[in-house]
């Protein structure tokens, strides 16, 4: 991705016409023989191996950029303005990136080619004004006009309006109340903080402090141009019927607003101090919180409001961690990552290289295994609230996130380590045993696995007026459950009760059309690409009806060019399910599934492999501007820049070399 290079206020970037243009596609060549196709696949795999090996860090890890949307960049500037540390060069570089993402109609989207999004457009607009762009500049006037057409700031999501309230652009009275006394509720009480997913929990606790303090820093300019009626900028929202859950929680919120006026000061002060202690105890060694940008931003604000000055070690470390989320482009633009994914990228790269035929004792794989072993988490985190007797063991997604190892990463790291001939096999075995035990123990009551917690399925958090954006709970998903089942099969545990319950859950979750929903990747192609390899690894016959239905579905959604693609709108609109421009990563997921199902000689696989070979660039990589990763279905999307490298190589490697052999089994 590139941005504008001149930095002018009216410059438009490469996304300017995204809503009205189509991406050209490459039709896969028709190879005259099976031998010619096999040779092309082998050459493509060889080039890809060289490219990926060349991207490994000297310490042993891989990490691609994690691209999200401009709200990350806007909120970074708003935070720095709030704290009084916004530097002109930072504002200039951020504005260069934000302008580069604006489209011709003046709006911003949250993913490549997606529809205009109101909150993202508002936040981007405000950030550009902070950087010095004038409201009368053509690109700014177009954005403001579109915002007004959509109902103005009043129609933005709660989190956007919280940012605006920090500067007096929105009234705190017109935001949902979030009392800090929430931290007192025990884990068995409905709507305690552990009913929220870990990412939401880490955000909500500091926001209780912000909500209680209601700070307002003087706004550097008004935002009347973003209101439909500047004289009455905060129109009330009608109450839902009292008998509905929405109506019930709306009335609870009104009660909390009244409670705010009578809340005992001593109790509130104690609650905020407890919240502060909770926040500080969860700061990671690198200064961040949870390894992700949003909780870190709100934690810094909350602690600052409670008297932590910017030179306090906790604050200094927190701000330094936020600086590490910045990606500086060659043209001087600055993009903010929401998170960093070295563990995830490293285990996926290791699997890809091994399945492509890189020898198990290759120095790059051994170095990657050493690094992953050094990242193992051997202390308890918040997951122990639900599983207090379970010994720790596992891996997180990020460089530092010991409080929140995740089940998905842990399963994939085990699969990666088992592909490496490490010089200290006993060390690997010990780490894998700990991690497999922890992963199995995190199974939810329904037999499946979620990403971070067990049984994090309360229906109440998503009903809160405060939670109008993204998922705030962590229910089990087909993709994570599939990765765990595949891992257990590799460990020779496919016949154990936990694995069998996971398989039964997966079979029950298959959609009528044959696909599986993808929680952490887009979408049904990702879910199906995760489940089929797991089921066959666990011993299901390739003739099993569920596998044949999935194969038929994948064939039915293959694009005319030979690839596969699925737009993020499939999370909301049925017509997009399995449909979208062909991408390298999604084509690879479909191929991985079909190869696991024994479809190597099928026409669908031949065409898919030909598409990968034809679209590979000279340096062995693939281009993929589309977003194929998921943070929150529909609401928050991710372009993992390494997906376009590791998954195609995995598919090519399995096509060329056959399915990877499970320990004790022959290669398939």
Catalytic residues: 408
Paired residues of 629 in beta bridges: 521, 638
Please state whether beta strands 326-328 and 636-640 pair in parallel, antiparallel, or not at all (unpaired). Answer: unpaired
Instruction: Give Cα separations from 160 to 118, 120, 137, 433 (angstroms).
Output: 10, 8, 23, 44
d(CA 298, CA 304): 10
Helix (H) or strand (E) holding 66: strand 66-67
Please state whether beta strands 629-632 and 66-67 pair in parallel, antiparallel, or not at all (unpaired). Answer: unpaired
Checking phi first, is residue 379 left (phi over 0); if not, alpha (psi -120 to 50) or beta? beta
d(CA 160, CA 232): 18
Helices 603-615 and 584-596: angle between axes, nearest 10 degrees: 150
Which pair of structure tokens corresponds to residue 215?
Answer: 């700070």
Other Cβ atoms closer than 10 A to 448: 23
Q: Is 105 exposed, middle or buried (CB count within 10 Å of its CB: 0-12, 13-18, 19+)?
A: middle
Phi, psi of 589 (to 5 degrees): -60, -45
What's the gap between Cα 652 and its chain centre? 25
Alpha helices for 61-137 (secondary structure H):
71-83, 88-100, 118-130
Instruction: Give Cα separations from 242 to 238, 459, 572, 641 (angstroms).
Output: 12, 18, 27, 47
CB 636 within 8 Å of CB 68: yes
Which pair of structure tokens corresponds to residue 396?
Answer: 């997180």
DSSP letter assigned to residue 311: T
CB 566 within 8 Å of CB 577: yes
DSSP letter assigned to residue 611: H
Rounded to a whole number of angstroms, the CA Rg of the chain reads 25
């Amino acid at each position: 991705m590139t941005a504008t290079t001149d930095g002018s206020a009216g410059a438009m970037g490469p996304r300017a016409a995204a809503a009205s243009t189509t991406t050209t596609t490459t039709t896969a060549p028709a190879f005259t023989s099976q031998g010619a196709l096999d040779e092309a696949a082998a050459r493509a795999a060889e080039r890809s191996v060289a490219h990926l090996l060349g991207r490994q860090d000297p310490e042993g890890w891989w990490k691609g950029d994690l691209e999200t949307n401009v709200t990350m960049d806007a909120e970074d500037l708003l935070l720095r303005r709030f704290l009084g540390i916004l530097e002109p060069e930072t504002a200039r570089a951020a504005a260069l990136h934000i302008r580069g993402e604006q489209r011709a109609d003046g709006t911003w989207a949250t993913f490549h080619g997606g529809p205009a999004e109101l909150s993202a457009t508002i936040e981007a607009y405000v950030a550009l004004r902070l950087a010095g762009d004038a409201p009368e500049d053509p690109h700014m006037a177009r954005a403001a006009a579109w915002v007004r057409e959509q109902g103005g700031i009043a129609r933005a999501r709660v989190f956007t309006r919280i940012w605006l309230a920090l500067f007096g652009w929105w009234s705190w009275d017109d935001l949902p109340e979030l009392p800090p006394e929430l931290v007192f509720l025990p884990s068995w009480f409905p709507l305690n903080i552990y009913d929220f997913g870990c990412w939401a929990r880490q955000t909500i606790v500091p926001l209780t402090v912000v909500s209680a303090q209601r700070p307002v820093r003087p706004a550097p300019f008004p935002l009347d141009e973003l209101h439909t009626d500047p004289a009455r900028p905060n129109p009330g929202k009608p109450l839902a019927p009292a008998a509905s859950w929405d109506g019930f929680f709306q009335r609870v919120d009104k009660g909390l607003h009244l409670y705010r006026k009578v809340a005992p000061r001593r109790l509130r002060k104690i609650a905020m101090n407890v919240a502060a202690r909770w926040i500080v105890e969860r700061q990671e060694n690198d200064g961040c919180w949870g390894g992700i940008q949003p909780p870190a931003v709100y934690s810094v604000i909350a602690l600052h409001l409670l008297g932590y000055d910017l030179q306090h070690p906790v604050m200094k470390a927190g701000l330094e961690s936020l600086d590490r989320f910045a990606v500086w482009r060659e043209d001087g633009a600055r993009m903010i990552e929401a998170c960093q994914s070295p563990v995830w990228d490293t285990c996926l790269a290791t699997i890809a290289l091994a399945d492509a035929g890189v020898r198990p004792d290759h120095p790059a794989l051994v170095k990657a295994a050493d690094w992953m072993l050094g990242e193992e988490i051997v202390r308890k985190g918040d997951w122990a609230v639900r599983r207090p007797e379970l010994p720790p063991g596992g891996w997180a997604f990020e460089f530092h996130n010991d409080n929140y190892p995740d089940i998905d990463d842990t399963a994939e790291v085990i699969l990666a380590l088992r592909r490496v001939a490490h010089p200290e096999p006993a060390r690997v075995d010990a780490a894998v045993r700990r991690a497999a035990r922890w992963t199995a123990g995190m199974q939810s009551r329904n037999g499946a696995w979620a990403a971070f917690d067990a049984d994090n399925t309360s229906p109440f958090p998503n009903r809160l007026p405060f939670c109008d954006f993204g998922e705030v709970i962590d229910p089990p998903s087909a993709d994570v459950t599939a990765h765990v089942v595949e891992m257990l099969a590799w460990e020779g545990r496919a016949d154990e009760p936990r694995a069998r319950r996971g398989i039964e859950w997966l079979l029950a979750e298959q959609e009528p059309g044959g696909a599986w929903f993808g929680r952490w990747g887009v979408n049904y192609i990702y879910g199906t690409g995760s489940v089929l390899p797991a089921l066959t690894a666990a011993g299901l016959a390739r003739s099993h009806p569920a596998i044949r239905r999935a194969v038929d579905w994948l064939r039915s959604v293959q694009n005319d060019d030979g690839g596969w693609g699925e737009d993020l709108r499939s999370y909301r609109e049925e017509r997009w399910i399995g449909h979208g421009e062909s991408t390298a990563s999604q084509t690879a997921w479909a191929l991985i599934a079909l190869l696991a199902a024994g479809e190597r000689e099928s026409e669908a696989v031949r065409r898919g492999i030909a598409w990968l070979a034809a679209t590979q660039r000279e340096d062995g990589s693939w281009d993929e501007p589309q977003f194929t990763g998921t943070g929150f279905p529909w609401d928050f999307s991710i372009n993992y820049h390494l997906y376009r490298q590791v998954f195609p190589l995995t598919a090519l490697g399995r096509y060329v070399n056959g399915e990877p052999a499970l320990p004790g089994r022959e290669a398939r």
